[in-house]
Amino acid sequence: MAKIIDGKQISMQVKMQVKEEVQQLTEQQISVCLAVVIVGNDPASRVYVNNKKKACDLVGIQSMEYALPEETTQQELLTLIEKLNQDKQINGILVQLPLPKGIDEKKVIETISPQKDVDAFHAVNVGKIMIGNYDFLPCTPAGCMDLIRSTGVEIQGKHCVVIGRSNIVGKPMSMLMLHENATVTICHSKTVNLKEVCQTADILIAAVGKANLVTADMVKQGAVVIDVGMNRLPNGKLCGDVDFQTVQEVAGYITPVPGGVGPMTIATLMKNTVTAAKVQNQ
Ligand code: GUN
């Protein structure tokens, strides 16, 4: 039976460390402020943004919300971002994705100043991650790394299989595992022998957005299983990409949904915002 990796508890430890850092900065008269931009009425985005603001309150980071209506034009959003780029009070800028149709996410991301890009989505930051010389780690992959480290399982030399190749999770996750000297395989929708590849994973990361994609027959005995999925079932319940009930019988460690990766994403965002404030005040 797998040990459950408690993302809520681990994220709280991270946030408490961040809180201490914020206090130290305050003593040096440096305040930390995150601008949170949300466009439209996506209910899931509203929940995420509220959780991010709550985390800011907890650690002592000031948060400024910019809630724009669904019909906001791309130019209006870009103008706001440019204003926030210039604003010395603002250390980090987070534009909650997805954006309404008609707004080009790529254009929005590349308009955010790389130094304020606390999501690490900008090409400059992505490139820095690729070469292993970065200020910001992408929030969800960095949170997953903390969860894996919490198990005490050594990463070096292990076979790590990442299912999903998104810019937000799959690709950067693979890179972070590679930096830790894992042997990394990336699987995706065109992978032919997904089950067989997954069966060889010592560390398995599911980041696809497909409920219960990973079943027990795909998991090696004792593997570390990290579930990045966050899927809403027709009955309203949240579930991950991993069939938790059956996989927990086989895995060595497993993250629950909710209460696994999600809280870690937010904790890393808090870390990145403090890093931004430090870099900007150097
Ligand atoms: N939408 C889903 N995940 C994220 C994230 O990590 N950051 C932002 N900005 N939007 C998201």
pLDDT digits (tens, 9 = 90+) for 193-232: 999 999 999 999 999 999 999 999 999 999 999 999 999 9
Given the residues 52, 171, 220, 271, the one annotated as active site: 52
Does residue 143 contact residue 120 with C-beta atoms inside 8 Å? no
Catalytic residue check, 119: yes
Catalytic residue check, 96: yes
Q: Which of 11, 50, 96, 208 has the most ligand 1 atoms within 8 A of CB, as the residue to mutate?
A: 96
Q: Determine the distance separating the centroid of ligand 1 and the alpha carbon of 119, expressed in angstroms.
A: 7
Any idea of the CA torsion for 7, 12, 17, 23, to the nearest 10 degrees? 150
Q: Determine the distance separating the centroid of ligand 1 and the alpha carbon of 157, expressed in angstroms.
A: 30
pLDDT number for residue 139: 98
pLDDT digits (tens, 9 = 90+) for 224-275: 999 999 999 999 899 999 999 999 999 999 999 999 999 999 999 999 999 9
Query: Can you say whether residue 62 is alpha, beta or left, with left for phi > 0 and alpha for psi between -120 and 50 degrees?
Result: beta
For ligand 1, residues with CB inside 6 Å are 94-97, 119, 139-140, 168, 265
pLDDT number for residue 34: 98
Catalytic residue check, 28: no
Looking from the CA of residue 138, the nearest atom of ligand 1 is 6
| Nearest CA owner, ligand 1 atom 8 | 96
pLDDT number for residue 278: 97
d(C-alpha 50, C-alpha 47), whole Å: 5
- Average pLDDT over every residue of 50-78: 98
pLDDT number for residue 159: 98
pTM: 0.97
pLDDT number for residue 43: 92
Bridge partners (DSSP) listed for residue 227: 206
Looking from the CA of residue 119, the nearest atom of ligand 1 is 7
Q: Return the DSSP state at 100.
A: P
pLDDT digits (tens, 9 = 90+) for 137-173: 999 999 999 999 999 999 999 999 999 999 999 999 9
Given the residues 96, 115, 171, 271, the one annotated as active site: 96
pLDDT number for residue 58: 98
Is residue 265 classed as helix, strand or coil in its secondary structure? helix
